[in-house]
Amino acid sequence: MTTFLDFLQRQRAFLLTGHENPDGDCLGAQVALFHLLRALGKQVHIVNPDPIGKAFDFLRRHTPFGHARGDDELPEFDAVVLLDCSQISRVGALGQRLLASGKPIGVIDHHVGSEHGDGTACFVDATAAATGALVRRLYRELGQPLSPAAAEGVFLSLIADTGWFRYSNADAEVFAMAGELVAAGVDGSLIYDNLYRQNHPESAQLLAALLARHRLLLDNRLALCAMDKALMERAARIDFDTDAVLDPLRSLDGVEVVALLKERYDGNVKCSLRARRDIDVQAIAATFGGGGHKKAAGATMNMPLQQAEAAIEAAVATALGDAARRR
């Protein structure tokens, strides 16, 4: 932590970024760090590889978000901070430009193995429920009070990665922090409404179509949903959050792993894995070059959709077999 604080204190102008398709943890942590660095008198810009979705627009009340694609101009910066991931390869084309700049890269992350990423200075803890919780610790360490904007950022991080405090990573630190953040003025219901109550009128039909497509495999222990390019385009057109299929599938009795496979425009397949009980989906994702956490992980698979479905089924079968042998 001290070396990381030194890194923050030494540099003057920061560019904050994160993984492609930034989620609530990534954006919430960026909000909190943006306001911390500003309070320390630094110049700060948030530049993500993708624009923020409409659901996150409410954050613009207090925090400016930028994104850069292709050779879009970048603001001036002396240092990069990567949030909620540790590898430049997860930052898309923007990541390569940041790497080529030769500027130091700070990493704040809570994924397994993030100390082995591209950070020249790291503040990482794989036991932390969310990246935003780590930024909260930086405020404490520096004796800085949380502004209402920063409190909203940290709260967003917590709810995003704990599924509104339902997952097993919702530990004592999370609940203590949540109490403190609400006391500081965070309006949870405003965040909820923004995130989940602005869906396009066609969303219910698309959700139904996706759920109707799921297959139960391996004695109902694997629920798999594959989205081909046509479905992906439909989802993109109405700004549909594909994560909506994960929890209904994870709720089915007997299901231990949920796999959502999304065919991307470049032909690769983005795979999201969620687990119940003791199956380690991070280890499964790692066999495809991905990563994440024990109960939520992902990978980009360089193969056609059907082949990816078969590969995931085989990998989950192996993991279930290994788990049974360990018992």
Site residues, Mn ion (CB under 5 A): 23, 25-26, 84, 131, 161
- Please name the residues in contact with 115: beta carbons below 8 A apart, sequence gap of 6 or more: 86, 122, 124
In degrees and rounded to multiples of 5, residue 131 shows phi and psi of: -65, -35
CB of 21 to Mn ion, least distance (A): 9
- For residue 211, the number of C-alpha atoms closer than 13 Å in the C-beta half-sphere is 16
Binding marks (x or -) toward ligand AMP, 265..284, rule CB under 6 A? -------x------------
293 near ligand AMP (CB under 6 A): yes
* Residues 33/108, Cβ–Cβ less than 8 Å: yes
DSSP 30: H
292 in contact with ligand AMP (CB under 6 A):
yes
Contact status: 107 vs ligand AMP (CB under 6 A)? no
In whole angstroms, give the CA distance from residue 232 to residue 262: 7
92 makes contact with ligand AMP (CB under 6 A): no
**Which residues in the 44-83 window bind ligand AMP by CB under 6 A?**
none
Residue type, 36: L
Q: Does 297 sit near ligand AMP (CB under 6 A)?
A: yes
Strand partners, 48: 67
Smallest distance from Mn ion to CB 245, Å: 18
Tell me if 18 contacts ligand AMP by CB under 6 A.
no
Helix axis angle, 172-183 to 148-162, nearest 10°: 140
Contact window for ligand AMP (CB under 6 A) among 44-52, 203-211, 227-235, 290-298: 290-298
Q: Examine residue 300 and tell whether it contacts ligand AMP (CB under 6 A).
A: yes
Minimum distance from residue 283 beta carbon to ligand AMP (Å): 12
Looking at residue 49, what DSSP letter applies? S
Q: For binding to ligand AMP (CB under 6 A), which residues are involved?
A: 19, 85, 90, 111, 272, 290-293, 296-300
